[in-house]
């Protein structure tokens, strides 16, 4: 016979597999000194397994349930009801019923109890299961308790719980159900305590929510609670709600809603002293568990009883600085157009590549800008640079400064971590400079490809480490930075001066169309050329429309026209196959590794364009830029001092058109090297798989570069560490990184401070001029893109890998972006009206809605 019942005093947080997560945490809470937990016990997983064994017919139903689609509500409703009825009909064996009721002799047979579900898959970082399983309050008598335990087991298969598991990908057989039986308390007030502010995420601020009676009124949303904020042992903010209802225990068992007397409705549920007291208890619990907690409490006879505590899983982690100083962190992902989490190998390679220290948190990287903000010598430059790039980051940093309580001023301090020599010196407009920079990069990559073939083992890791220094030398070549800055400064000059002289907003947007040597915009047009090769062969098109695996390139030559199609796709992959979404993470699958990613885009190009569209598109943009240049120069010449103004403008236009395209090349060169590194590292990983050191090649993605170096050197790996890293990465995927984060964990949200816009519009940053109206296509996965000519792409962010889609759209809206990020640069070159940095655009705009994008003024209208 299994162990069917455990008292709280026999349980700690390691026993999730025995008593479920809720039961394990309650057991752990009961051990904390100074924390009062109502007495109780847990009916274990062994008891649940015993009940399942009494109903073998459930196996078949579980098999059928596992094959149901999450959106098939009728099938879920029918099957889950069958399983619940089957469980509830099972007669509980005598020895099991006796085990459940035996503790009641000690706790009080006629006392009232709460009977609460405690599943193994509750309060997880990726799935809370909040409200999915049943709780029964004020249950009196052994027979009633046994009955409600049975109903808790059955609640594992409520329609809502089954649907939730299907959507989250949980195996129904692997989720088990224990049950908590706990003495009821009848509080004057109850509520929730968050030991970190759920609004700002500040770990220094606790948030207390309180209402009269049982906490179920608050949890179920029946009442608006009083809300208190506590910092450093003081109530710093308070909002007392009008509380019209309370839930109390019913004399007949269960609970009932009761109206609160009018004179009490506006009274606070707690005194300030009680708020501070419960916050202090929360800090004690938080310290015990080592992370912020979501705590349910009850006020009984002027003392607090804790009835549940679980980790807050929605908080973004804080970068670890290793000191107790205040720090301000800025997201790297928002600058690099990659806000998804990165795996440890990707993070460490990017850190090795970077010029300044970067801190990891939640699978994302951040830079510490505290010194620059604190120094008058560097503050203005930092705010201007980041504000131009992303106004929301700039405004968030300005908000921190204006509060005056976080960043100390450091007189005389210069910018920390800035490149030696300061800003790059001016450079003359000379196209041979760009050609030489690209040529040197190509020669270096060719040498890398040649030399890395001869390396293996520790020598390979040492070789890559040395080559990263060569990559940094190329990335941060002063001449390369001169070219990039020259184009950016000329762009800013044109926009500012032409608006001042002619009233022309964002004139540089048209002037940068179809510039030369832009490897990213060329990549998008080149896929139109691939479509031209495939279009004349209907059988190849039909084959591509029904692909089943990544081996399709080898099958193509068996079709008429297939050889030409394969050669065209392979030539494209030879030049651009190292790219992919989130390409700064070396672990991401590249187009060369998953060429099917490109097939929907190629098919879209075949459907939406005529032959020769790539060359026509480039020439059309070049002509528009030339005509705009002539028009602007003519208008300038008729102004006072017009010849000088026209001459200056012409010099800047030439500089933009000569240098702007190179902006995209350093990242292309970096990603090209990353792919060479990745292929070599995976070959080394394969050797370790054959030697039974690693379970699979991709295990190396969950090790840092140095950790993998150690594995190669020792032929030993910490398999548990890899499992933990995989779990952590999975949890990070549910988090959205903030643009700006403090060492208190506070997320500082910037705002667009503009009062010149129509009401009800979605505000963002204008990065490519023009106004366009069309159908919004909300696309989060490039492989699922299905675009028609004239569509407007709405997505979270675009890095260079999204460029092939740009040829098919008429406008672009993104949640993340800045003036000089890759998507903005390419949008201008393609002449696409674009607004970036539109908060929650993919949620506020529905797929298929008609929208109007104001790329000149920076806002989006949702049309009727």
Q: Which residues are catalytic?
A: 822
- Show the tokens assigned to 703: 């090790």
The full length of the chain comes to 864
Distance of CA 537 to the CA centre of its chain: 41
Is residue 81 a contact partner of residue 162, using CB atoms and an 8 Å limit? no
Q: Residue 352 — φ and ψ, nearest 5°?
A: -65, -30
Count the neighbouring beta carbons within 10 Å of the beta carbon of residue 306: 23
Cα→Cα distances 381→372, 414, 653, 738, 749, Å: 9, 11, 25, 22, 21
The answer to whether the CB of 275 falls within 8 A of the CB of 235 is: yes
In DSSP notation, 770-828 reads -EEEEEEEE-S-GGG----TTEEEEES---GGGHHHHTTEEEEEESS--TTSHHHHHHH
- Tell me the three state secondary structure of residue 77: helix
| Backbone Cα Rg of the chain | 31
Contact assessment for residue 805 and residue 828, using Cβ atoms and an 8 Å cutoff: no
For residue 546, give the 3-state DSSP assignment.
coil
Torsional sign, CA 352, 354, 359, 361: negative
Q: Would you state the structure tokens that stand for residue 16, as one six-digit string? A: 């999730």
List the one residue out of 183, 186, 181 whose CA is nearest residue 248.
186
Burial of 545 (0-12, 13-18, 19+ CB in 10 A): exposed
**Are 47 and 75 spatial neighbours (Cβ–Cβ below 8 Å)?**
no
* CB-based contact 240:216 (threshold 8 Å): no
Residues 348, 230 contacting (CB under 8 angstroms): no
Asked whether the beta carbons of 169 and 126 are under 8 A apart, the reply is no
Name the β-bridge partners of 310.
294
Could you give the angle at which helices 665-690 and 431-452 cross, rounded to 10 degrees?
10
Tokens standing for residue 792: 């407007």
With a CB cutoff of 8 Å and minimum separation 6, the contacts of 467 are 448, 452, 673, 677
Bridge partners of 213, per DSSP, are 247
**Residue with the two structure tokens 């064996």:** 93
CB 23 within 8 A of CB 152: no
Q: What is the DSSP letter of 698?
A: G
Taking the CA of residue 338 as centre, how many other CA atoms within 13 Å lie in the half-sphere pointing to its CB?
23
């Amino acid at each position: 016979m299994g162990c069917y019942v455990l008292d709280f005093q026999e349980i700690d947080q390691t026993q999730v597999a025995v008593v479920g997560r809720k039961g394990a945490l309650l057991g752990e809470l009961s051990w904390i000194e100074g924390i009062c937990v109502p007495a109780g016990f847990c009916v274990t997983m062994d008891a649940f397994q015993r009940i399942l064994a009494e109903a073998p017919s459930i196996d078949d139903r579980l098999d059928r349930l596992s094959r149901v689609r999450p959106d098939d509500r009728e099938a879920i409703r029918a099957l889950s009801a069958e399983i619940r009825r089957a469980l509830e009909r099972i007669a509980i064996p005598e020895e099991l019923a006796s085990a459940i009721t035996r503790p009641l002799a000690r706790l009080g047979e006629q006392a009232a109890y709460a009977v609460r579900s405690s599943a193994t898959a509750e309060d997880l970082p990726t799935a809370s299961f909040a409200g999915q399983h049943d709780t029964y309050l004020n249950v009196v008598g052994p027979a009633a308790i046994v009955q409600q335990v049975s109903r808790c087991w059955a609640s594992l298969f409520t329609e809502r719980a089954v649907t939730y598991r299907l959507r989250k990908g949980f195996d129904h057989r692997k989720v088990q159900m224990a049950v908590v039986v706990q003495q009821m308390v009848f509080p004057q007030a109850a509520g929730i305590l968050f030991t970190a502010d759920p609004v700002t995420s500040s770990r220094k601020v606790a948030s207390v929510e309180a209402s009269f009676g049982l906490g179920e009124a608050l949890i179920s949303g029946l009442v608006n609670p009083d809300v208190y904020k506590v910092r450093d042992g003081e109530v710093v903010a308070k909002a007392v709600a009008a509380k019209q209802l309370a839930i109390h225990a019913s004399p007949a068992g269960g609970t009932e809603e009761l109206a609160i007397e009018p004179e009490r409705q506006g009274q606070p549920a707690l005194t300030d002293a009680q708020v501070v007291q419960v916050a202090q208890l929360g800090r004690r619990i938080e310290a015990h568990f080592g992370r912020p907690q979501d705590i349910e409490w009850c006020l009984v006879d002027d003392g607090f009883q804790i009835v549940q505590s679980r980790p807050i899983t929605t908080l973004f982690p804080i970068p670890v600085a290793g000191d107790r100083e205040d720090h301000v962190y800025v997201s790297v992902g928002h600058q690099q157009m990659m806000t998804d989490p990165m795996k440890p190998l990707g993070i460490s390679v990017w850190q090795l590549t970077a010029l300044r220290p970067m801190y990891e948190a939640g699978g994302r990287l951040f830079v510490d800008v505290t010194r620059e903000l604190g120094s008058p010598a560097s503050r203005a430059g930092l705010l201007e640079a980041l504000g131009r790039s992303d106004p929301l980051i700039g405004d968030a940093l300005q908000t921190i400064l204006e509060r005056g309580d976080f960043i100390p001023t450091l007189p005389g301090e210069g910018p920390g971590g800035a490149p030696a020599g300061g800003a790059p010196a001016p450079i003359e407009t000379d196209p041979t400079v760009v050609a030489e920079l690209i040529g040197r990069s190509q020669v270096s990559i060719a040498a890398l490809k040649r030399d890395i073939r001869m390396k293996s083992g520790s020598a390979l890791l040492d070789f890559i480490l040395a080559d990263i220094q060569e990559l940094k030398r190329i990335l941060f070549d002063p001449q390369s930075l001169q070219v990039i800055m020259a184009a950016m400064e000329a762009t800013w000059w044109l926009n500012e001066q032409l608006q001042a002289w002619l009233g022309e907003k964002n004139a540089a947007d048209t002037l940068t169309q179809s510039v030369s040597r832009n490897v990213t915009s060329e990549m998008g047009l080149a896929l139109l050329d691939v479509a031209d090769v495939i279009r004349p062969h209907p059988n190849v098109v039909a084959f591509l429309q029904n692909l089943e695996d990544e081996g399709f390139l080898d099958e193509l030559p068996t079709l008429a026209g297939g050889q030409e199609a394969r050669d065209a796709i392979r030539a494209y992959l030879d030049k651009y196959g190292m790219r992919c979404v989130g390409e700064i993470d070396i672990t991401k699958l590249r187009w060369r590794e998953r060429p099917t990613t490109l097939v929907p885009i190629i098919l879209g190009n075949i459907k939406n364009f005529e032959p020769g569209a790539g060359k026509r598109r480039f020439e059309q943009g070049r002509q528009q830029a030339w005509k705009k240049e002539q028009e602007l120069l003519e208008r300038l010449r008729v102004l006072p001092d017009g010849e000088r103004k026209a001459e200056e403008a012409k010099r800047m236009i030439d500089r933009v058109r000569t240098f702007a395209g190179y902006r995209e090349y350093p990242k292309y060169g970096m990603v090209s090297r990353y792919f060479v590194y990745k292929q070599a590292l995976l070959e080394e990983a394969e050797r370790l798989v054959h030697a039974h050191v690693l379970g699979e090649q991709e295990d190396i993605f969950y090790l840092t570069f140095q950790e993998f170096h150690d594995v190669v050197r020792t032929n030993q790996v910490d398999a548990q560490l890899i499992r933990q890293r995989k779990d952590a990465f999975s949890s990070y995927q549910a988090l959205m990184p903030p643009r700006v984060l403090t060492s208190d964990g506070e997320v500082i949200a910037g705002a667009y401070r503009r009062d010149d816009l129509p009401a009800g519009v979605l505000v963002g940053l204008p990065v490519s001029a023009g106004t366009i109206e069309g159908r919004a296509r909300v696309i989060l996965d490039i492989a699922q893109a299905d675009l028609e000519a004239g569509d407007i792409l709405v997505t979270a962010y675009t890095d260079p890998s999204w460029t092939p889609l740009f040829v098919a759209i008429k406008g672009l809206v993104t949640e993340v972006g800045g003036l000089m990020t890759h998507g903005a640069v390419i949008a201008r070159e393609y002449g696409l009206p674009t607004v970036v940095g539109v908060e929650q655009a993919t949620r506020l705009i529905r797929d298929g809605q008609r929208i109007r994008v104001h790329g000149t003024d920076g806002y989006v209208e949702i049309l009727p």
